[in-house]
Amino acid sequence: MARTVLVVTALEDVTADWVIAALNEREVPVVRVDPADIGPELVFGFRLDGGPAWSGELRTGSRAVNVEEVGAVYCRRPTPYRHRFAQLPRQQRDFATAEARYGLDGVLHGLRRAQYVNHPAAVARAEFKPGQLQRFVELGLRIPATLVTNDVVSAREFAGEHPSVVCKTFRGLPPGEDGRAGAIWTQRVHSDDFDDSLSVTAHLLQAEVPKVGDVRVTVVGLRVFAQRITAPLGAVDWRCGDWSALVHTPVAVPSVVETALHRYLAAAGLVFGCFDFALTGDGSSPDDWWAIECNPNGQWGWLPDAPAITGAFADILSMEGISSSS
């Protein structure tokens, strides 16, 4: 009998919907849960007694599963607990959030018989861009010259050393007070742009790569999907324009680059990752590929090969086996 796949995500998640549909086609048992539903719509009782594996039932409004039956956990984008407890006074909200995180998440992140795609602890470790860039270099990948700084003198010196410099964020812009999301795109900067306000926080500056396009490489297990992305007018950041005007073209990943990506994921304890590259040639040479970052929980549903990627997720989640990356 196929072991259950636990899908941990918010209610509105089209990407997870696709994977769940593919698992249903394979007749793999699936239970979807958003931990922020904790309360009457999400109840649980977990025991640890006589062995290292948790037992007990997790029940949603429509489904129930014994955690001993979970063979894989697909961790997508659950609602933050702070939203669940937003109506409480600050101290109570912070307390309830912490208790849910370290209690419920503590069990769901420690299922010894389950394969995680990806384990939240591995994702948290892998989200630091400075560490990503270090690892890329260790694996033989090319990266742009990079400066992490809050010093105006260092920033101006760096800008003077390169024909063109771009500034990008480490994590992106969080939602505003009204809850609406925003974005800060990668943009060109010049030495005259820097002043003492730079000292307020950390900044990521990189020498601009004279690219002819970008590549998004999605790796799921041993399967690799790569799409070249060409933006109109050669935009610095393809994400900031009209996505319907983007041109997507399948591209072959050089074997040495592909090997490096698999080694990167293995070292990080990840099963899946979305890699971004800047391309300076036709892509046939590894020297054309400049590693920019790896998103360990990246989006891929907008890509032309999303149906194949969906199948790859369903395949790896439905495989039986014991694997935990924590």
Predicted confidence pLDDT, tens digits, the chain (326 residues): 459 999 999 999 999 999 999 999 999 999 999 999 999 999 999 999 888 889 999 999 999 999 999 999 999 999 999 999 999 999 999 999 999 999 999 999 999 889 999 999 999 999 999 999 999 999 999 999 999 999 999 999 999 999 999 999 998 787 777 767 778 889 999 999 999 999 999 999 999 999 999 999 999 999 999 999 998 877 888 888 787 888 999 999 999 999 999 999 999 999 999 999 999 999 999 999 999 999 999 999 999 999 999 999 999 999 843 344 44
Q: What single-letter DSSP state applies at residue 319?
A: -
* CA angle, residues 317, 304, 77, in degrees to nearest 5: 45
**pLDDT score of 179:** 67
Question: In the chain, what are the domains?
Answer: 4-117 (no CATH), 148-207 (no CATH), 210-303 (3.30.470.20)
**pLDDT score of 81:** 94
What residue has token string 């063109």?
164
What residue has token string 């912070």?
94
**pLDDT score of 173:** 81
The closest of 17, 38, 143 to 97, measured between CA atoms, is 38
> 67 with 1: CB under 8 angstroms?
no
**Cα torsion for 179, 185, 191, 192, to the nearest 10°?**
-60
> DSSP H helical segments within the chain, as ranges?
14-25, 81-84, 90-100, 106-108, 120-126, 129-138, 152-161, 255-268, 306-317
